[in-house]
Structures are given as C-alpha cells and as structure tokens.
Amino acid sequence: MAKHTVVTMPGDGIGNQVLPESLRILKALGFDAEYVHGDIGWEFWRSEGNALPDRTIDLLSKHKLGLFGAITSKPNKEAQAELDPKLRGKGYVYYSPIVTMRQKFDLDICMRPCIGFPGNPLNYIRKKVDGSFEEPQINTTVFRQNTEGMYAGVEWTNPPDNVRAALATHPKFKAFAGTPGADLAVSMRIITRPAARRIVTAAFEFARRKKFKGVTICEKPNVVRETSGMMEETAKDVQKNYPDIQLWSTNIDAQLMWLNKNPEDYNVIVASNLFGDILSDAFAGLVGGLGFAASGNIGDHVAVFEPTHGSAPKYAELNPPIVNPIAMILSAAMMVEHVGETEKSERIKKAVAAVVKEGKVRTYDMMRFTGGPKAISQGAASTTQMTDAILAKLK
C-alpha cells in the first residue's frame, strides 16, 4: 500500500490541463502515493445541482489530502439557466466548491508562497537612484486566515429589523440610522481569537522552520480597532512563545504602498481573510503572477493544495494547451512538503528554478504574449513541454 492517498480534483477548464502535469512530476519524483479521482466543478452543478458532490467530501474525509485544479463559477442567474431542466425550480443554489471545502473541513490556514525564481522575465525590477535597475530576491509567504473575517458571509442588504435594532445600540450607527433599508448594505467582519491564534501560530511555526528572523502582522488596528486589534493583540501574545522570532506590524494600506520599495524585506506575512487575499495577490504579481502562484488550504485534518488561478475557459480547449503548469506543480510541491517530505519538495522547486533560470522553455505568459493558439507558433512552450523540461531537470 502506498504511504499517501491523494484525492485529485481537476475540476473545470485548464484545471484538467494542469493537474495531470503535476501528477507526472509526482510520479517521476517517486512520491509514494496512490491517486483517486474526485468529482468537482461546473459539470456536477449542472447535472446534480451540487458542484462538490458528497462522494468527493467523503473521499477527502477519508484520505485527508487533496490536489485541486480550478473551478468555474458563474453568477446565480447563469447558474440557474445552466442547471439540468429536471432540477430547475427545486431550490438548488450554487455554492463555490472551494469555499464549501474550506468551511466543511475548516481549512482555516491559507498559505501562499510568493517566491521569485531568478531568470523569470516576469519578476519585479526596481529602478535605482542612478538610473540602473535591480531585481530584489523576493521570498514572501503570506498566511491568510481562510474562513472568517470579511468573508465570513454574514451580510445583508436591507438588514432585518432585529439586526437594525442591534446595530442601533452602537453609538456610531447614529450616522446611518436614517438610511432606508434598501439603501443599506452591511457586511460583518468577524474575527475569533482561536482562529486568529491558529493563523498567527502557523506563520511563526513556518518562520522558525525556515529560519526567518521575523513575522509581519499586516492589519489596520488604528482604525478597525476591534477585529484588526484582536489580530494584532493575538500576534503579540503568540510571539511570546517564539523569542527567537521578531514580530513586526504594518498597516495594509502602507504595506501595499511599500510593495515596490522593499518587498524583499517581508518573508512571512500574516493577515485576516480579505487583507491576506489582497496581499497574496499583490506579492504574487511581483514574482510572475497566476502562472506561478501556488497555495495550500490547511486544516487540522484535511489539506487541499491548488494553484491560485481559475479555470481560464478561453484557453481550456486549445490543443496543444498553452497555460503554465508551474503554479499547479508548485502546489503539488507544497503538498509534498506538507506531508513531511521536504527533500522531495525541494527537488521539485529546484527543477522548476533550473528551467526558469535557463530560460529556454517558457510558456506564453512568461514571454508576455497574448494567450491564444498563435502563442505556440510565436515560440512559446506548450503546457506539456514546460512539464517535460521540469521532468528533465528532476532526473
């Protein structure tokens, strides 16, 4: 029996192109695993009214490790229109399967490494005072609280009377008291101390493992006093258990302004859900964008790894496929590290680094081409060719 069983969920669109590429890498690596397919995505919404069927949930509960490609989500009206006519009008509601997965398994830790590979033409460069350019070596991992905060989902347009009455007990609500319900939208930002503690602890543990000097908590406690305040207070408290690691604090707005000043100074950043989402995209943009952005959704029992990109429907039917498999392959590398096989994970990352550095094989995004069937004749590598190149470096 293999040591691990991985539930593979290619999902929609280019998820079906990139996920098999990551399996080629894992197999060549000798990662001791079996793979079982999990149904997920738009097709299952249309035919079953559920984009994440229970049988897939069961597989994840059983095997605890998932590799996920991407899904397609559409606005509610379109979702209803595409539902199998037999299921229409029966109260089916589309829920994003990845959000459901995060909630069902409490995958509250989202980890997003944004690490620049030398030689990547998409890397951020900075102009120096003398007019010359430099390329800072960015190595940032963002820890984003994945289940609460601004995305807790507790929100209303036209809040019911009892909610309005509760809000009216807050002195600051006076300014809004005269606003008619239909003109009033409220989203609750909810932070719980245990979840704050878990995400901050994950960041400190990572910093210790990777021998980084500090962790940055990025919030806005001077304005969003209660929720950002609790995040920061928790970070200060957790830091006491890590005397070898410093805690730095930045505000989300200033942090983004500093993005092009000194991004190389931030190795580990931790934030609540919305801020973490913004930060991780912002940092990913400095190191190659969607073709390179990997992520892990990690809970106590289950962990699911996925590229940050979506299903890119406009490229899904191209043959040969043109999209960059690196984000998916790096997500697989994160999974390998998560189960403790650090050396194997490093081998994947080194092979990717070697291909990027050599610069001979580049997918269309790395050449700044417009995507499309022409990309290949213009000299871009196909998805498969990129994987082939990485495989060759693995040997």
Q: Is 323 in the site for ligand NAI (CB under 6 A)?
A: yes
| Residue 331 buriedness (CB in 10 A; 0-12 / 13-18 / 19+) | buried
Put the strands of the sheet holding 294-298 in their side by side order: 33-37, 4-11, 65-70, 303-307, 294-298, 109-115, 139-145, 268-271, 214-219, 246-251
* Of residues 315, 380, 302, the one with CA closest to residue 15: 315
The Cα–Cα gap between 250 and 216 comes to 7
Please answer whether residues 18 and 47 qualify as being in contact, where contact means their C-beta atoms are separated by less than 8 angstroms.
Answer: no
| Residue 345 buriedness (CB in 10 A; 0-12 / 13-18 / 19+) | buried
Nearer to Mg ion, 39 or 277 (CB): 277
Nearer to ligand NAI, 111 or 217 (CB): 111
Nearest-CB residue for ligand NAI: 310
Q: Is 101 in the site for ligand NAI (CB under 6 A)?
A: no
- In which residue are the tokens 């995209």 written? 281
365 binds, among Mg ion, ligand NAI, none (CB under 5 to 8 A by kind): ligand NAI
309 binds, among Mg ion, ligand NAI, none (CB under 5 to 8 A by kind): ligand NAI
* Of residues 266, 217, 264, the one with CA closest to residue 237: 217
Q: Is 291 in the site for ligand NAI (CB under 6 A)?
A: yes
Q: Is 293 in the site for ligand NAI (CB under 6 A)?
A: no
* Of residues 4, 105, 107, the one with CA closest to residue 63: 4
Q: Is 320 helix (H, G, I), strand (E, B) or coil?
A: coil
Nearer to Mg ion, 66 or 307 (CB): 307
CB neighbours of residue 226 within 10 Å: 9
Q: Is 311 in the site for ligand NAI (CB under 6 A)?
A: yes
Q: Which of 26, 79, 98, 270 binds ligand NAI (CB under 6 A)?
A: 98
CB 154, min distance to ligand NAI, A: 22
**Which residues of this protein are in contact with Mg ion, per CB under 5 A?**
277
Q: Which of 270, 365, 381, 382 binds ligand NAI (CB under 6 A)?
A: 365
196 binds, among Mg ion, ligand NAI, none (CB under 5 to 8 A by kind): none
CB 284, min distance to Mg ion, A: 9
CB 280, min distance to Mg ion, A: 7
Nearest-CB residue for Mg ion: 277
List contacts with ligand NAI (CB under 6 A).
70-73, 98, 290-291, 306, 309-314, 323-324, 327, 365, 371
